[in-house]
Amino acid sequence: MDADLVRDGATRRELTTHPAIGPDGALRVGDLVRVGRPCLDNPSGTRALVVEVYDRRALRIGDGLGVQLLFPNGAADGFSPRDRELWGVTFLDHRPALAGYHFTSIGRLVADWRDGLFAEAFDDTGR
């Protein structure tokens, strides 16, 4: 794991090793996607970064794997396989430098976003 992705000595939980199956195939932490519909105060066509892949069955919220998407405005939300289909989530690119990120909480994610940890994933417009 990249040492730059661990902040303040926090231990981050390990992610599952199996990929989330999205509309364009396997999604994994560090993938950039485009969201085809307006979402979380972001316009249609906005980029988002996969920051977590989670097992929905283990969380007792459904089947399949979900992904946590981070948007350029700092908003984040979980997307089920059906959500990814409804919002038109499509794969754009993979950012290896961000692939080792380990999501632990929304508070930590927001702090990491504010610290600029994900800046390379977004241009000024988020597109």
Alpha helices by DSSP H, 44-121: 81-86, 106-114
Distance, CA of 87 to CA of 75 (rounded, Å): 15
The structure's pTM equals 0.77
The pLDDT of residue 12: 41
* 74 token code pair: 């700092």
pLDDT by residue (tens digit) across 73-108? 999 999 999 999 999 999 999 999 999 999 999 999
Averaged pLDDT of the chain: 82
Residues 89 and 108: their CA atoms lie apart, in Å, by 24
Positive/negative CA dihedral, 77, 80, 82, 84: positive
What is the rounded end-to-end Cα distance, in angstroms, of the chain? Answer: 28
Domain boundaries in the chain? Answer: 16-119
pLDDT tier for residue 25 given thresholds of 50, 70 and 90: low
Q: Within 13 A of 21's CA, how many CA atoms are on the CB side? A: 2
Give mean pLDDT, residues 49-78.
90
Structure-model confidence comparison of residues 19 and 72, the more confident one: 72
